[in-house]
Amino acid sequence: MLQLSGVNSYYDKSHILHDVSFTIKDGEIVGLLGRNGVGKSTTLKSIMGIVSPRSGSIRLDGKEAAGLKGYQMARLGVGYVPEDRRIFPSLTVRQNLLLGMKPGERKKSKDGWTIEKVYHSFPHLKERDGFKGGNLSGGEQQMLTMGRTLMGNPRLILIDEPTEGLAPQVVEIVVAVIDEIHRAGVSVLLVEQSMEVILDLVESLMVMNKGEIVFQGTPDELRGRPDIIERYLEI
């Protein structure tokens, strides 16, 4: 479904991503691990069109997508859950969710994501239906961000640090929904720092350091590489 080949991205003159290459198959869930500041978020932003790569290829369903804008990627079925959440604080929970719908989504089949389905997965949000986004806790805002993205019924969803700073009980809810998304056949690229969260969720994973992919393999293969864990993941 998604293929990156030799992607190089910059912030002004700062070279962030160095020849990043990987593939995500249709329906696959893939993890991207690494310490803070190594380029994980920039990778997602480069795919989503928030950052424009200066070189390399990003192919979606075999067609070149590098250089497309975020709204164009969304129309092609790519959803994005940003690390900083970016909810609308002056709008209610329900209004934030409605903004995630694409034109014509109301006519989708019952298998698609609806407000009722989001509320079933995130009961806390149902209880906050009329609350403004700015009055929610950090965990509730994270649920709202994920719910808003799901309302667009993406085929591929990019999720950036969804459990950072959350209470353990909220982490369990978020992880369960990510697993539900994957089991429904949606492809997922999950950025995380926590190995505990990611190893039991993903089918394959990558480790990034200084803008480069330094390891690709399965969770079991990473568990068998204490040198990689110690050098690139432990604090």
Query: pLDDT (tens digit, 9 = 90+) per residue, 175-210?
Result: 998 998 898 889 999 998 888 888 989 999 999 999
For the packed helices 138-150 and 168-183, what is the interaxial angle rounded to 10 degrees? 10
Q: Kindly report the average pLDDT of the chain as a whole number.
A: 92
> Contact at 8 Å (CB) between 207 and 228?
yes
Position 167 scores a pLDDT of: 87
* CATH code, residues 2-85+139-233: 3.40.50.300
What pLDDT, on a 0 to 100 scale, did the predictor assign at position 193?
82
CA distance 76 to 156: 9
- 217 pairs with which residues across the strands? 205
If DSSP codes are grouped into helix, strand and coil, which group holds residue 206? Answer: strand
Tens digits of residue pLDDT in 46-76: 999 999 999 999 999 999 999 899 999 999 9
Q: Note the pLDDT of residue 196.
A: 83
Phi-psi region of 77 (alpha: psi -120 to 50; beta: other; left: phi over 0): left
234 pLDDT tier (thresholds 50, 70, 90)? confident
Asked if 233 contacts 60 with a C-beta cutoff of 8 angstroms, the reply is: no
Helical residues (DSSP H) of the chain, grouped into ranges: 40-48, 70-75, 93-99, 115-121, 123-127, 138-150, 168-183, 195-198, 219-223, 226-228
> Which residues on neighbouring strands pair with residue 215, listed in sequence order?
207
Domain residue ranges of the chain, discontinuous segments joined by +: 2-85+139-233
Is the pLDDT at 42 greater than 80? The verdict is yes
Question: What is the C-alpha to C-alpha distance for residues 107 and 112, in angstroms, rounded to an integer?
Answer: 10
What is the average pLDDT across 120-137? Answer: 94
The answer for residues whose C-beta is within 8 angstroms of residue 217's C-beta and 6 or more apart is: 204, 205, 225
Q: Report the C-alpha gap between 66 and 157 in whole angstroms.
A: 17
Distance CA 207, CA 33 (A): 5
pLDDT beyond 70 at 105: no
Look up the pTM and report it: 0.91
pLDDT at 104: 60
